[in-house]
Structure formats: structure tokens, C-alpha cells
Amino acid sequence: MIQFLSHIISGLSLGSIYAIIALGYSMVYGIAKMLNFAHGDVIMIGAYVSFSATQYFGMHPIASVVISVIMCTILGIAIEGFAYKPLRKATSLAVLITAIGMSYLLQNLALLIWGANPKSFTSVVGLGTLSLFGGEMHITSETIVTVLANIIIMIALTTFINKTKMGKAMRAVSEDKGAAELMGINVNLTISMTFAIGSALAAIAGVLLCSSYPSLMPTTGSMPGIKAFTAAVFGGIGSIPGALIGGLLLGLIEILGKAYVSDQLGDALVFAVLIIVLLVRPAGLLGKKVHEKV
Amino acid sequence: MKRKISKTFINNLITYAIVIIAFFICKLALSGDIEGFKMSRSLKGQLIPICVYIVMAVSLNLTVGISGELSLGHAGFMSIGAYAGIVASQWLGSAFPEANIDVVRLIAALISGGIAAGVAGFLIGIPVLRLRGDYLAIVTLAFGEIIRNLINCLYVSVEGGTLHTGFLLTSPLPGKKIIAGPMNTSGIDKLASFDAAFVVVLIALFVVLNLINSRSGRAIMASRDNRIAAESMGVNVTKYKMMAFVTSAALAGIAGAMYGLNTSIEPKKFGFDTSILILVFVVLGGIGSIRGSVIAATLLTVLPEVLREFGSYRMLVYAIVLILVMLARNSVFVKQILSIVTGCIKLIFKRSRRGEAS
């Protein structure tokens, strides 16, 4: 029973990381209608920046997280401005391939700068472990911080989207780009802003991911990226609560599947559940069903 | 009166001609008969992979370009074909150890690879083709990952003509190992040859080009362009989409079988990255253009070899080239320049023709 509980907790922790990454995917998809495959690699860059700041420049871990968030925000805006903005009117497949090219570019840049050998990431939290039930169950401080960070980010983002002017502009652009432009909304600025927020979240997710799973490589971001993306689809792409629920469920399924079914088949299980959900609810758990007009 | 030859027929002939001429040029370079015209060692090793990737790109183009369904799990079918082909050829080899039947084994491997992938394509197609758009893409991605994960746990060994299979094993199987879970395949007879790979390319081109220009192909394209209109015209949309999907999967399986009999493979090879690589060939070559797929697959497989002199900057340059090509193909500015250039060329041609006439 206690073992089951600790699996649930580590599932929630992994799920929180997926949820934070999924938010970036979901927001960008909702507003720019594109699959940003380079998002997973922004996570990796964020983790590397934080790693370098602490290892090579001897900075305080918290300061390194701030630097990493700033760098990733700039990177996100730069990627959008350089690679995606010229393709606003192109087909979605062309944008997809450009995003894939961007993902290769970031991976290989990281490979050149930091090398192929896995770096051992020192946790930015490092507050020790919480023992419960007379030492039978351990919860690391990373787990607690990850779950807390996820809750704070969700609340902050929901408030931002619903209460601020920029948030309103984002919702308007995701609803109808043309109409939003006619109402005087700066669509390009709104899209850049979305990328900035998504990339800042990716940096946080990267640091949290590598604090829990300390091996850092140029390909670290790709698998969590794909899984977070399925989490976004799972919950209904474009919806913030959907990303939260999708991410948490995916994390739980993965950890429980690896623990109780088979270690090697955990990923297959995640994707099988995704397929079943999409077949029953083709727009995801919380997605809106779009009726086709004839 | 001369019978008018259709434009598509000529177009297809050009495609075949390009492939056949390229094959003979490669043959000439391989033989080294002409002084100073020889293929480098690294390029020689790429010949069969090029053919495999051409078949992969052409088959994916059938799904993405002709049928209009974005598939992100094409490498999954390739891996099914590869492993089925390996099992078939190794089983035949151990069942008839005396006979010299390499060609038969190769053909059996290709056919069983194609059939296995085709059946998988049918089974996956039933749920997948119910979805649309991005959701369909995600589900194909998910199936690709599931296939890779399952093969990762698959163990097959052969002993005197009988096959032993196991799933998620801890103890080793008796006999000679063929497929060993996440490990590289080893001890597989390298039955693939450039000539055979070339024949497979021709077969794939023949199947796809003829399918496109048939009644079924037109039905497939009609359901891509407007599903509702096609349905109301009496086209069985699901049936034709399934036809395209299964054909594409089977061709990918054949390509995979050829690949598995050429180099040592591991399940990791057929992940999401390979699916994306093939999609890149299709999109760069032009969606729906078979000739474009052939050319793009060839160039992009050769490109990393050519870029070898950049050393560790190789893949970085590849990524930059990819992004720049996509930007150039879609940017308004470059399109304008291109249209001016082609306009000038056309003008020059017209002038010279007029000059000949007068």
C-alpha cells in the first residue's frame, strides 16, 4: 500500500513536469496552429544553461534558474521570429518540417557546445528527503517542489489568460486571427508573447526534469517533448486545464505501468491509452468538438 | 491521325527514366571503367540505403500527399518489414542449409516483410482512419512508438528449421539468436544487393504511379480534396483511404526488409526520428510529387556524406540547410525572384524559337 502511494507520488511529480511542458505545446498550438517540435529541445537548452551557470560560473542554483528562464525566453522569441514568422501563410506541413529542422539545429548546437557525454545535473532544490510512516516512504524535496511549481504555474497562467489584456488578446487570436487583427490586436506580438511564455515554462520544466532525473544529454528533451505533446492532445490541445489533466494522467500511467506491468512496456502502455482515449473522445478529454459545416 | 499521349504518361516516363539513368551511372561508377570517375567508399555504402529511402519516401507520399493523411509512424512499418524479412530469410537458410537459394531467400524476405507490414497497416488503419488531421498524426506517432516498444521486447531464435519466439524474456532461447530484443541483430546473412534494391525501387514506382492514375487513385484523391463531395458521389471513402494506407505500409515493409538484410539493425533505429526523416524527404520533394520524393530522398541521404568534411558540424549544417530550404520554398520574396528568373528563361526560349522559325 505504501509502495503504491509512493508510486502515485512519483507519478504526480513526473506528470507535473509533463503538464508544464504540455502547456507550452498547447498554448502555441492554440494560437499559432502549429506543432512546435523544437519545444522539447528548448527544455534541454534550459537545463544546460542552468547546469553551466552553476558548474562553470559558480552561481546560486536559484539564480541559475532565473538566467535559464531569461535565456530560453529570448531563444523562444528568436526561433519564432527567425523561422516561423516568415511561414505564417505557408502550409502547416511546411511549418512542421521547419520546426523539425529547428529541433535538429538546437540538438546539434548543444552537441557542439556541451559534447555528447551525459552531464550529471546537480539538483537545484537539494533540501533532503521527507520521510513518512516511520521511514517507510520517502518523498524527495524535488518531488514536492515540482508539484508545487506546477500548481503555481497553472494558477498564474489561468489568471493571466482570463484577467489581463494580453490574455484576452491571446484568446481572441486563437479564436479567429483575422477578426482579432481587425479589432486592433497586434497578432505578431501576441504570437511572440505566446512563444516567450511557452519557452520560459520549458526552461522551468527542463530544470525540474533534470533535478529529478539527473542525466543531461543533447537528446534529453526529445522523449519528454513527445510525451508532453501526447499529454496535450490527451487533455484536449489548446486547453490549459486539459494540459494539466493530460500531463498528470500520463505521468501516473507511465510510472504505474512501469511498476506493475513491465518496465520495458511503460511507453507502449502510455501510447495505447492515448489511442483509446482519442478513439472514444476524438478531441481529447477536455477538447471542444468542432462541428463541420457543409 | 496520331494518338495523343497523355501528359501524366510522359511525366511517369520521365520519372522512370531518371531512376534508370541514375542506376546505370552508379553502375558505371562502381565498375570504375572510366578514368577519374569512381565512387567513394562511403558513397558506395549508401547505395542500398538510398534505394530503401526512396521506396520509403514514395510510399509515405502515397499516404501524405495522395491520400492527405499526415502519418508520423512510417518507420514502424519499416521495422515490422525488416524483422519479418530477417526471420523469413534466416528460417529458410536454416531449414535448407545445403541449397544455394540466396535469391529465393531475398524474395521471400521481401514478400513476407511486405505482407507483415501490410497486415499491420490494415489493423492500425481501422482505428486511425476514423480520425482526422492532427489527431490522426498523433495516433500514427503513438502506433510507431508502440511497435518499436514491442519489438524491443521480442526475441526470436532459429534451430534447424524451427523458430523459437519469446516475449519479455529473462532466459535465453535455444539455437541461433536472430532477434535479441533491444540488441543489434547479428549474424544475419547480407542478402541485399544494389541491383535488387533498384528492382524494388522500380516496383514501388510502378505500383504507386499506376495506383495514382487508376480509378482507385482518382477516388483516393477525391476523398482527400473533399470528403463530403466524394462521399455524395458514391465513393467509399474509408475503403479507398484504407487501400492507400495498406499499400503504403506494405511498400514500407518491403523497403524495411531490404534494409534489414543490408546492415545490422536495432529497434531504436526505427523510432520517431526516422519517421520524421522520411517525412522531410516527402515535404522537401513536394507533397504529392513522386518524382520529387525520389530526388529529395537521394539528395538528402547523400548530403550528410558530402558534408562529412565539415566534421562535427555536419548535422548542424544539415539542419541549417533544411530550415533555409523550407524558408526559401515558402517565402514570398524568394518566390518573386524565382518567378522573375523563370519568366526571363521562358522569354529567351520563346525568342530563340521564333528565331528558328523565321
With beta carbons under 8 A apart, name residues in chain A contacting B71. none
H/E segment holding residue A152: helix A141-163
Is residue A272 one of the residues assigned to a domain? no
A271: closest chain B residue by CA: B142
Percent of chain A clearing pLDDT 70 (strictly above) = 95
CB atoms B130 and A100 under 8 Å: no
Give the best residue of A111, A271, A292 to mutate against chain B (max B CB count within 10 A).
A271
Of B146, B153, B326, which is closest to A271 when you measure between CB atoms? B146
CB atoms B228 and A101 under 8 Å: no
CATH node for B47-313: 1.10.3470
CB atoms B139 and A275 under 8 Å: yes
Is residue A82 one of the residues assigned to a domain? yes
Closest CA–CA distance from residue A139 to any residue of chain B (Å): 30
CB atoms A104 and B312 under 8 Å: no
Closest CA–CA distance from residue A194 to any residue of chain B (Å): 20
As for the ipTM of the complex, it is 0.80
Residue B336 predicted with pLDDT over 80: no
Is residue A68 one of the residues assigned to a domain? yes
CB atoms B153 and A265 under 8 Å: yes
Is residue A144 one of the residues assigned to a domain? yes
Of A93, A105, A233, which is closest to B70 when you measure between CB atoms? A93
In A184-215, which positions are buried (b, 16+ CB within 10 angstroms) versus exposed (e)? ebebeebbbbbbbbbbbbbbbbbbbbbbbebe
- Give chain B as a 3 state SS string: CCCCCCHHHHHHHHHHHHHHHHHHHHHHHHHCCCCCCCCCHHHHHHHHHHHHHHHHHHHHHHHHHHCCCCCCCHHHHHHHHHHHHHHHHHHHHHHCCCCCCHHHHHHHHHHHHHHHHHHHHHHHHHHHCCCCHHHHHHHHHHHHHHHHHHHHCEEEEEECCEEEEEECCCCCCCCEEEEECCCCCCCCCCCCCHHHHHHHHHHHHHHHHHHHCCHHHHHHHHHHHCHHHHHHCCCCHHHHHHHHHHHHHHHHHHHHHHHHCCCCCCHHHHCHHHHHHHHHHHHHHCCCCHHHHHHHHHHHHHHHHHHHHHHHHHHHHHHHHHHHHHHHHHCHHHHHHHHHHHHHHHHHHHHHHHHHHC
Q: What is the pLDDT of residue B205?
A: 92
Q: Is the separation of the CB atoms in A61 and A242 below 8 Å?
A: no
CB atoms A229 and B327 under 8 Å: no
CB atoms B323 and A102 under 8 Å: yes
Q: Please give the average per-residue pLDDT across B179-191, as a whole number.
A: 77
Is residue A248 one of the residues assigned to a domain? no
Closest CA–CA distance from residue B85 to any residue of chain A (Å): 23
With beta carbons under 8 A apart, name residues in chain A contacting B142. 230, 271-272, 274-275
Q: What is the pLDDT of residue A200?
A: 93
Residue A273 touches partner B, C-beta closer than 8 Å: no
Residue A58 touches partner B, C-beta closer than 8 Å: no
Break chain B into its structural domains and give their ranges.
47-313
Closest CA–CA distance from residue A205 to any residue of chain B (Å): 22
The count of CB pairs under 8 A between chains A and B is 120
Is residue A196 one of the residues assigned to a domain? yes
Q: What is the pLDDT of residue A71?
A: 92
Residue A277 touches partner B, C-beta closer than 8 Å: no
pLDDT digits (tens, 9 = 90+) for B316-335: 877 888 888 888 877 777 77
Q: Please give the average per-residue pLDDT across B48-74, as a whole number.
A: 90
pLDDT digits (tens, 9 = 90+) for B220-274: 999 988 888 998 989 899 899 999 999 999 999 999 999 998 888 888 888 888 8
Residue A187 touches partner B, C-beta closer than 8 Å: no
Q: Is the separation of the CB atoms in B92 and B105 below 8 Å?
A: yes
B141: closest chain A residue by CA: A271
Give the best residue of B138, B227, B231, B312 to mutate against chain A (max A CB count within 10 A).
B138
Residue B25 predicted with pLDDT over 80: yes
Per-residue pLDDT of chain A in tens (294 residues, 90 and over written 9): 778 888 888 899 999 999 999 998 888 888 887 888 889 899 999 999 998 888 888 888 888 889 999 999 999 999 998 888 888 877 777 888 888 889 889 988 898 888 888 888 877 776 777 777 766 777 788 888 888 999 999 999 999 988 999 999 988 988 888 898 899 999 889 999 999 999 999 999 999 888 888 888 888 888 888 888 888 888 887 788 888 999 999 999 888 888 887 777 878 888 888 888 888 877 777 776 665 555
Is residue A257 one of the residues assigned to a domain? no
Q: Across chain B, what does the average pLDDT equal?
A: 84
pLDDT digits (tens, 9 = 90+) for B8-19: 888 888 888 888
Residue A13 touches partner B, C-beta closer than 8 Å: no
Q: What is the pLDDT of residue B317?
A: 78
Of A98, A108, A294, which is closest to B326 when you measure between CB atoms? A98
With beta carbons under 8 A apart, name residues in chain A contacting B326. 87, 94, 97-98, 101
CB atoms B276 and A100 under 8 Å: yes
Q: What is the DSSP letter of B308?
A: G
Is residue A281 one of the residues assigned to a domain? no
User: How sure is the predictor about B1, in pLDDT bands with cuts at 50, 70 and 90?
Assistant: very low
B68: closest chain A residue by CA: A93
The residues in A 72-131 lying below 8 A from B, measured between CB atoms, are: 83, 86-87, 89-91, 93-94, 96-98, 100-102, 104-105, 107-109, 111-112
Residue B229 touches partner A, C-beta closer than 8 Å: no
CB atoms B168 and A265 under 8 Å: yes
Q: Is the separation of the CB atoms in B277 and B72 below 8 Å?
A: no
Pairing of strands B162-167, B154-159: antiparallel
CB atoms B319 and A283 under 8 Å: no
CB atoms B168 and A262 under 8 Å: yes
Q: Which domain holds residue A108?
A: 19-221
Q: How many domains does chain A have?
A: 1
The residues in B 266-325 lying below 8 A from A, measured between CB atoms, are: 272, 276, 279-280, 283-284, 287, 312-313, 315-316, 318-320, 322-323
With beta carbons under 8 A apart, name residues in chain B contacting A294. 228
Closest CA–CA distance from residue A18 to any residue of chain B (Å): 16
Using only C-alpha atoms, chain A has a radius of gyration, in whole angstroms, of: 19
